[in-house]
Structures are given as structure tokens and as C-alpha cells.
Structure 1
Amino acid sequence: MDETARIVVGIDGSEGSLAALAVARQEAALLGAPVEAVMAWDHLDQPGPEPFDPHYSAEKAQAWLDAVLARAVTDEGPAVTGRAVCGHPATVLLDAGAGADLLVVGARGHGGFLGLRLGSVSHKVLHHAPCPVLVCRERAAGEVPSTDGRPVVVGADGSAPSRRAMVWAAEEAVRRGVTLVAVHGWGLPSAASGPLADPSAFSLSEAFSEAALELVTEEAARVRKEVPAVEVEVRSDGTGAAPAVLDAAEGAALVVVGSRGRGGFAGLVLGSISQQVAQHAPCPVVVVPDAD
């Protein structure tokens, strides 16, 4: 076991958080790391279905968490320790994630509105986390996302955040023994597309396509130098950045994106592309933050 590695997962007893726990343990097995399951509580938002208890305490919160983990962790996989912390869920998770290799959250927990793909806690964690964040979709009870042979997909645009994401994704692909699929999505300017576009737009499209393929090929070569064991497949897609990554995500084990790519505004922690991917990808998504 790597005693320096650490994976943190947020848990509140919901199906989404239990799915996140299962994925966190998958990642822990790959890294040889322990898992710390963190639950936030306060006196006005007590876990479990029991009636409000005016005398609720830290000891009761910890006992409830321990019971949840005892029911959820029944095999001999990576060890899980539980910690109940009084505070707002997002704040508690962000504090726990400091220094972690990975912070895992469910897309929605208790209190999430039906129809919303990403809850308020996971949304805030994605915007402010100090480490890579994995967002896990809720699945049927007991179902764990399949990883057998499925590729890791990463968005590539040549920016510094994208390059950090590519290295993280390449190392993950090697750990899993699968191919890394590097995707660069692009699109023509609006004036060069549509029914009123200039006839020369076709040659412009060819130029964009060639440049995009060259870019993603160069980025793949760059990541191979840093992670020599990785096998990389490159794709260029003219449907746009987020649609290209989401299309490649079908059948993927994991999608990885940088927190911001080209065109991101200074001061924004999470860019529009990474938000769209985190909201709509059919598989777990990892968002790799900018360097400090």
C-alpha cells in the first residue's frame, strides 16, 4: 500500500454517495491507497430517517456513519475509515480534500432535485477543490461502474490545464491497463457555417480539421514522453469541444478534463466545457484543477 496516497469520498447515505464509495474503493485498489469516507452533519441537518433529535451529538453522527459503512463495505478490498464532521457538506469535503490524491463525490446526494444532473455540493466542490475531483453517477443498488477494457477519455486542447489533465489521465490509463483516448473538439466560427456561409467555408473547414488533428497528435506525443507506458488513440471532432468529449464518453470507463481550457476567463475556476462534461457525461468524470 502507498502510505502517502489518500482518497477521500463524501458520503451521506444516499444511493449516489454509496456509488461514489464503490468507485473510490476501485481507485484506491489501483493506487494502493486507503479510503477516508467523510460525512458532514449539523444539528439542523441530521443524517438518517429518524425524527429530529435536539440532543444529537458528534458521537451519534459517527455511530450512524460507522453503521452505513459496515453495511456498504463487506469485502476484503481497500480499507475504509469513516469520519463525521460538523459543518456544511461542501466546506467539510473541501477541507478533507486538502492534500488528497483524489476527492470522490456523488453527482447528487440527499436533497438533490430530480432532473438535476449535478447537485449543489458536488458543484461547489468542483469549483473549489484543491485536488482532482471524481464525480460519480448514481447507479442501481449494488451496481459498480464497469472498467473492464473500457478506455479513459481525456479532452485535449493544448492549454496548460488540459496538459495536466492528460498526464493524470495517462497515468490512470496505465494503472487500468487500457487505452487513453485523447479528444480535441473544434467548430467553425458561426459566420463560416450555416445556410448563408461563404462557399469558401468548405476549405476553411478542411484547414480547421487538419489543424485540430495536428494539435491533438502533438499533445499525444507530449504525454507519451511523460508517461511512456501509455497507449494513446487520438480523435478530432468538428462538433465542438464538449459534444466531442461527451460523444467519446459513450462506452468509456472514465472521462478526464482540465478545470479550464483555452478561452477560459482568468478567475474562473471551472470552465464551461468542464461544467458541461461533468453535468452530462454517462460515466464518472474527473476534473483536474489548475496548478497553484
Structure 2
Amino acid sequence: MTRPITAGVDGTPESLAALDWAAREAVRRGLPLRVLHVWRHVEAPSAPDPIVQRGWAETAAAEAVRPVTERHPGLHISLDVPEGVPAETLTKAAADAELLVLGSRGHGGVVGFLLGSVGGRVVAEASRPVVLVRAGDKAASEAAGREIVVGQDGSPEDSAAALGFAFETAAARGVTVRVVRAWTLPPVFAYSPASLKLLDDAGGLEPYERKALAEAVHPWRERYPDVPVSEHVEMGSAGQVLLSVSGGAQLVVVGRRPHHTAVTARIGSVAHGVLHHAPCPVAVVPGAAAEG
């Protein structure tokens, strides 16, 4: 089954930028584009009839899609305007998509994220990659000289989904992948004879981290031999290191392990920080345990 790239639109400038981003990516990957405008019936004494409300939603969605159709005449575009709860509908749609693209505000995070609304819930619960795009994003930001930055953390298995997404995207765009691994000094109690031997064999902490990164990247180098790769190891917190190298990036990719509270899922601290402050689109890719 061919999965479409799905874009959620609501008429805001950031969602229109997300729609443009999704259309360009669909063209690059040779995939169809699904545009989703979720609306909710407003019940109030002065509210118009539900049929009228649906008509407004359909008109707004069609107006958003029209310029995209004109820019990409060969792109297969489908438009759905369902009534429902936006977060639930978008999360469900993500499961059937190659990736879901949403708009996000400027510096300050995902739309409504600090209030726990639509964007944050979808990012935390979606079983497929979610890309967040800011209102100012333009096609020019995808110039060949601008690389894709991806974080690598933990074991190769932990970061496989994020690395795979980054390399696939870079292959479609013909750009470099910069793979970033951050490290910090472990607490004293974490040292053991076995771990100390590993560090001694590697020649110290930083060489050990470089070796771990090289091993994680190796299978992706083999799978995508035409994709240029830059390996970046730096001491510091993962979020800070990723942001420090994202200034010239066209996309930052972060993994998301499943995190659950008593009432809902949440994203990790690294993804949270990058979403708030990265100057370019951000892809949040769930790990294997979160995929459906």
C-alpha cells in the first residue's frame, strides 16, 4: 500500500507553510498528498446550521489547496474535510501516512503545545513521523548546501528510526546528513570494571562516543552510499548540541521514545527543546516501540 504524505490545514499561516512543505516532499518522494482539514460543529444559539459550517470548512480547505495544485500540476492531491476532534483525527490519519505535516508557531513551540492541545498531543501519540513547519518556511530554505541534522542517542536500535528517516529524506533531496551524538560525563556510581575496560579499550570517553556513533551510522552509510555523511560528537546535553548545529540546517530530525504519564503520552525533553527553538522544520520520529 502506498502511504500518502498527509498535511493538516486550518487556514493559519503556519498550516499553509506546512502544506507547501508537504507538497514539495510528496513531489520529491513520488507520493500522493492528502490534505486534511478537521472541523468541529459549534453548538450555540447564534451558530449557523451544521451544513453551513461544513460548507465554510470545505471552502477554506479548497482555497488552501488551490495554489498548491497550480504549483504542482502533476501531484495527486486528495482533500478530506471530516468533522471530529482535531487531535484524535490527525493522530489516526498519521497511522496511515508516510508522514504527517503540521504547522507550528515561531519560537515558543508547537501550536498550543504548552497548553497541551492539538499539536503536542499528535506529536506525542502519532505512530508515524510528524514534521512541524513554521509560518516563515520557504522552498529556498531547502537549498542543496543546507544539510539535514539528526540526533543519534543510545544504541543503534534506539536511533534506527530517526536515522532511517534522515537518510531517506537526504537521498530524496541530494543533501548531506549530519549525525550528532552528544555525551556527558557519567556519574561516579555508573563506573564499573566492565565499563572502565570498554573506555580503556576505546582510548577514553570521547573516542568511545565516536566509535559508538560510527557503528550506529555504518549500516545507513551502506544502505545509502550516495548520501554524504558528517559525524559530529560533542560534549553537552543532546538538545543543546542539536540546536547549536541547526542554524544552517534545512531539517532537524529527532527520535521519540514512548513516554507515558498517568493520563497521556508525552514527548521527551530533547524533542521538546528542539521543537521550541529550532529555526527550521523539525521531524519527530517515533521509535519501534511506538510504531503501529
Range class of TM-score, shorter chain: 0.7 to 0.9
Contact (CA 8 Å) 1:249, 1:255: kept in 2 or not?
Answer: yes
Shift of 1:224: 1.3
Higher helix share: 2
Kindly provide the amino acid, as one letter, of the partner of residue 116 in structure 1. G
Q: Residue 84 in 1 paired to residue 81 in 2?
A: yes
How do 1:86-165 residues align onto structure 2 when only pairs under 5 Å count?
Answer: 86-108=83-105, 116-119=108-111, 120-139=117-136, 143-144=138-139, 146-149=141-144, 150-159=146-155, 160-165=157-162
CA 1:175/1:133 → structure 2, altered by over 3 Å: closer, same or farther?
A: same
Contact (CA 8 Å) 1:36, 1:82: kept in 2 or not?
Answer: yes
Q: Measure the CA separation in 2 of the matches of 1:126 and 1:135.
A: 9
Gaps of 5+ in 2: 112-116, 189-199
Shift of 1:70: 2.0
Q: Measure the CA separation in 2 of the matches of 1:228 and 1:269.
A: 35
Q: Measure the CA separation in 2 of the matches of 1:266 and 1:117.
A: 20
2:192 is aligned to none
How do 1:40-79 residues align onto structure 2 when only pairs under 5 Å count?
Answer: 40-44=38-42, 52-55=47-50, 56-71=52-67, 73-77=69-73, 78-79=75-76
Kindly provide the amino acid, as one letter, of the partner of residue 34 in structure 2. E
1:194 is aligned to none
Kindly provide the amino acid, as one letter, of the partner of residue 154 in structure 1. V
Kindly provide the amino acid, as one letter, of the partner of residue 143 in structure 2. D
1:64-99 per-position Cα deviation (integer Å, ceiling 9, x unaligned)? 311232255432353332211111211111122222
More divergent stretch after superposition (232-241 vs 64-73): 64-73
Q: Measure the CA separation in 1 of the matches of 2:119 and 2:43.
A: 18
RMSD value, Cα:
2.7
Q: Measure the CA separation in 1 of the matches of 2:66 and 2:223.
A: 40
1:213-260 per-position Cα deviation (integer Å, ceiling 9, x unaligned)? 221122221321333332211000112211111112111111111113
Kindly provide the amino acid, as one letter, of the partner of residue 225 in structure 2. P
Contact (CA 8 Å) 1:155, 1:256: kept in 2 or not?
Answer: yes
Q: How many aligned residue pairs are there? A: 264
Q: Residue 172 in 1 paired to residue 183 in 2?
A: no
CA 1:283/1:115 → structure 2, altered by over 3 Å: closer, same or farther?
A: closer
Q: Measure the CA separation in 1 of the matches of 2:43 and 2:286.
A: 30
**Helix, strand or coil: the match of 1:63?**
helix
Q: Measure the CA separation in 2 of the matches of 1:247 and 1:115.
A: 15
CA 1:34/1:265 → structure 2, altered by over 3 Å: closer, same or farther?
A: closer
* TM-score for the superposition, normalised by structure 2: 0.81
CA 1:161/1:136 → structure 2, altered by over 3 Å: closer, same or farther?
A: farther
How do 1:273-284 residues align onto structure 2 when only pairs under 5 Å count?
Answer: 273-284=270-281
Q: Measure the CA separation in 2 of the matches of 1:286 and 1:62.
A: 28
More divergent stretch after superposition (51-60 vs 209-218): 51-60
**Helix, strand or coil: the match of 1:74?**
helix
Shift of 1:45: 8.7
1:242-290 per-position Cα deviation (integer Å, ceiling 9, x unaligned)? 1111112111111111113xxx767766322122112221111111112
What percent of counterpart residues are identical? 33
Gaps of 5+ in 1: 109-113, 192-202
Kindly provide the amino acid, as one letter, of the partner of residue 248 in structure 2. G
Kindly provide the amino acid, as one letter, of the partner of residue 110 in structure 2. L
Which of structure 1's runs of 4+ aligned residues deviate more than 4 A? 264-269
1:148-196 per-position Cα deviation (integer Å, ceiling 9, x unaligned)? 11111110124323122111111111111111110001122478xxxxx
CA 1:45/1:35 → structure 2, altered by over 3 Å: closer, same or farther?
A: farther
Q: Measure the CA separation in 2 of the matches of 1:22 and 1:11.
A: 11
1:209 is aligned to 206
Q: Measure the CA separation in 1 of the matches of 2:269 and 2:37.
A: 29
CA 1:16/1:45 → structure 2, altered by over 3 Å: closer, same or farther?
A: farther
Q: Measure the CA separation in 2 of the matches of 1:187 and 1:145.
A: 36
2:248 is aligned to 251
Q: Measure the CA separation in 1 of the matches of 2:43 and 2:162.
A: 36
1:29 is aligned to 27
